[in-house]
């Protein structure tokens, strides 16, 4: 069955506008049957050409729960941490993180980011201080040109690893993960710290390690962008709800 035929049949099965967006983004593309986690079979609609087809009704249900959770968390001041090191997630995560000044990891997860948060925080502060000292010229008279060059390289290395979490002044309240299979250490640390995980996960993932699972294609740029677009909207809704000041009730005079 061709992609166009499959898209058409999916469209007939899920005529709602939201589902059509998922179809156009290719959210329903799963993995080969041999790679499917048996625990994810509840999210599979059928198999076409050896590729599992994800049930978009399940995706919609998972999305609703996950986005509701994010909105409520943000409304109460919750801090998310974005985790997505695949090329499909990198640019979009940076964009959203910059928009809301949120922490993110798009290069490599540094072990202990959550479980050794105090130590990681000290490294981040070291990065900030070293960068500021180099920029101000405060180290010019204290170190040789070669030593300062080595410090500049150290700043570059630390910025690549930790630049995205400079805004993480406290432990995050939840993680937004693209492909939990790719970020097993991050998910494991979140579990140890009892930090909820929201994730876009394909059928090869373990649903037991994710608190709010949205079954879908986590490899495609269009599918990942669709998911992160919904996350972005949920954050905006949470911020808007937080900013609404409830007017005091006026008691009727007796």
The three-state secondary structure class of 244 is coil
CA 141 to chain centre: 43
pLDDT score for 33 = 87
pLDDT score for 148 = 84
CATH topology of domain 56-113+171-243: Rossmann fold (3.40.50)
pLDDT score for 164 = 95
* Distance separating alpha carbons of residues 86 and 164, to the nearest angstrom: 15
For the chain, list the strands marked E by DSSP: 29-32, 44-48, 51-54, 80-83, 104-105, 174-178, 197-201, 212-215
Give the residues of the chain that fall short of pLDDT 70.
Answer: 1-18, 245-254
pLDDT score for 254 = 46
CATH 3.40.50.10490 boundaries in the chain: 56-113+171-243
Report the top-level CATH class of 117-165: mainly alpha
CATH 1.10.287 boundaries in the chain: 117-165
Compute the half-sphere exposure of residue 66: CA atoms within 13 Å on the CB side of its CA: 29
Those residues whose C-beta lies under 8 Å from the C-beta of residue 115, and which sit 6 or more positions away, are 189, 192, 193
Instruction: Judge whether 67 and 148 are in contact, CB under 8 Å.
Output: no
């Amino acid at each position: 069955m061709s992609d166009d035929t499959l898209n058409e049949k999916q469209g007939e099965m899920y005529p709602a506008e939201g589902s059509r967006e998922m179809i156009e983004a290719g959210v329903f593309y799963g993995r080969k049957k041999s790679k499917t986690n048996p625990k994810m079979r509840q999210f599979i609609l059928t198999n076409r050409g050896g590729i599992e087809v994800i049930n978009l009704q399940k995706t919609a249900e998972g999305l609703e729960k996950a986005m509701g959770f994010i909105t409520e968390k943000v409304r109460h001041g919750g801090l998310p941490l974005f985790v997505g090191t695949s090329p499909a997630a990198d640019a979009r995560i940076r964009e959203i993180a910059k928009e809301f000044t949120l922490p993110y990891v798009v290069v490599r997860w540094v072990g202990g980011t959550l479980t050794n948060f105090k130590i990681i925080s000290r490294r981040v502060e070291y990065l900030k201080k070293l960068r500021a000292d180099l920029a101000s010229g405060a180290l010019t008279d204290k170190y040789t040109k070669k030593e300062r060059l080595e410090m500049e390289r150290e700043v570059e290395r630390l910025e690549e690893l930790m630049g995205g979490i400079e805004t993480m002044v406290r432990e995050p309240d939840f993680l937004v993960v693209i492909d939990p299979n790719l970020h097993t250490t991050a998910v494991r640390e979140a579990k140890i710290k009892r930090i909820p995980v929201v994730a876009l996960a394909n059928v090869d993932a373990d649903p037991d390690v994710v608190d709010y699972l949205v079954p879908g294609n986590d490899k495609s740029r269009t599918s990942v962008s669709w998911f992160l677009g919904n996350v972005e909207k949920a954050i905006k809704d949470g911020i808007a709800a937080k900013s609404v000041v409830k007017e005091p009730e006026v008691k009727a005079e007796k």
